[in-house]
Structure 1
Amino acid sequence: MDLDLARKVLAEQPFSRLLGARITAFGHGEATLELDIREDLLQQYGFVHGGVLSYAADNTLTLAAGTVVGAGLITSGFTIDYLRPATGEILRAHAQVVRAGRTRVVTRCDLITIDAAGVQTLCAVAQGNIAVIEPNGEQR
């Protein structure tokens, strides 16, 4: 899978469009997804909602897997640890492949926020298992 196909897949997800997510890097076992932090993505304390962080981790874990095994993937499970409140201008999720097998890919992801001054803060980490449902992106 290449960057153009990854962007097409993301654009086909209504929830990704709603959040305004964009892929900023894709290839060689790694992927980066970003979205602008807006008021409607916050929870009652003014922090980015955990569901938004989980969304970013989920999609980026799977995107990273797609760089090594192609399309035809689905998240079979992931864990996320919230380290500190997410505040700032941009949420960036960067994932990389830990191990790629024939039927499963293990990936990990760092979620950081970037403030107006460009300061980056690690706010969550995630690890996922990505199931290969269509080897090499073949259609069923």
Structure 2
Amino acid sequence: MSDIPDLAAAQKVLAAQPFSNLVGARLVSFGEGEVTLELDIRDDLRQQYGFLHGGVLGYAADNALTFAAGAATHSRLITSGFTIDYLRPAEGVLLRAQARVVRAGRTRVVCRCDLSTVDDGGAESLCAVAQGAIAVLGSSEQPQQPQQPE
């Protein structure tokens, strides 16, 4: 039996994240170090000028970066840091975050994410780019060790 996660397994992990449910995020592709996460742009996710809030873009980048690392390493992971550059205001009906692994090391995975909006006619516009470092905590089959008080 292979321990390689597939799209259905990744979707279950995403569904277990309360904030991902709140914003309505969904994984539409997952595998071989690449992932696509999407969410519908709703009025309650906009900022005061009517654009998608930058925090939502940051959330999408963070999650897509980490899922891409998971698609490559099949390990337990956590984001250790990421940067995001906003290129233009995010307008449209859909946000698409496409992430891929740049380099997967033993303890750290570096990924890149392109964030685009899609308008109601299907036209895509790149609105932000992000790069992140994802820390490898251990094998996905390793039991979690309880934290010991110091």
Settle same-fold status: TM greater than 0.5: yes
1:4 & 1:118 partners in 2: Cα distance?
Answer: 26
List gaps (5 residues or longer) in structure 2: 145-150
Alignment of 1:108 with 2:112, yes or no, is yes
| Cα distance, 1:136 vs structure 2 | 4.3
Provide the aligned length of Structure 1 versus Structure 2. Answer: 140
Q: Is the 8 A contact 1:73 1:131 kept in 2?
A: yes
1:130 & 1:64 partners in 2: Cα distance?
Answer: 10
Equivalent residue, structure 1, for 2:148: none
1:67 & 1:137 partners in 2: Cα distance?
Answer: 15
1:114 & 1:35 partners in 2: Cα distance?
Answer: 11
Which one-letter code corresponds to 2:56 in the other structure?
V
1:77-92 → structure 2 map (5 Å cutoff): 77-92=81-96
**Could you tell which deviates more after superposition, 64-73 or 42-51?**
64-73
Q: Is the 8 A contact 1:86 1:113 kept in 2?
A: yes
Q: Is the 8 A contact 1:70 1:137 kept in 2?
A: no
Q: Structure 2-normalised TM-score? A: 0.91
1:43-122 → structure 2 map (5 Å cutoff): 43-122=47-126
Find the structure with the greater CA-based Rg: 2
| Cα distance, 1:59 vs structure 2 | 0.1
What's the secondary structure of 1:133's corresponding residue? strand
1:138 & 1:85 partners in 2: Cα distance?
Answer: 42
Q: Is the 8 A contact 1:69 1:136 kept in 2?
A: no
Alignment of 1:10 with 2:17, yes or no, is no
Which 4+ residue blocks in structure 1 deviate beyond 6 angstroms? none
The Cα RMSD (Å) is 0.9
RCO higher in 1 or 2 (8 Å CA, sep ≥ 6)? Answer: 1
Q: Structure 1-normalised TM-score? A: 0.97
| Cα distance, 1:137 vs structure 2 | 4.4
2:36 & 2:19 partners in 1: Cα distance?
Answer: 17
Which one-letter code corresponds to 1:49 in the other structure?
H
Aligned-residue sequence identity (percent) comes to 67
| Cα distance, 1:30 vs structure 2 | 0.3
1:137 & 1:44 partners in 2: Cα distance?
Answer: 45
2:7 & 2:80 partners in 1: Cα distance?
Answer: 23
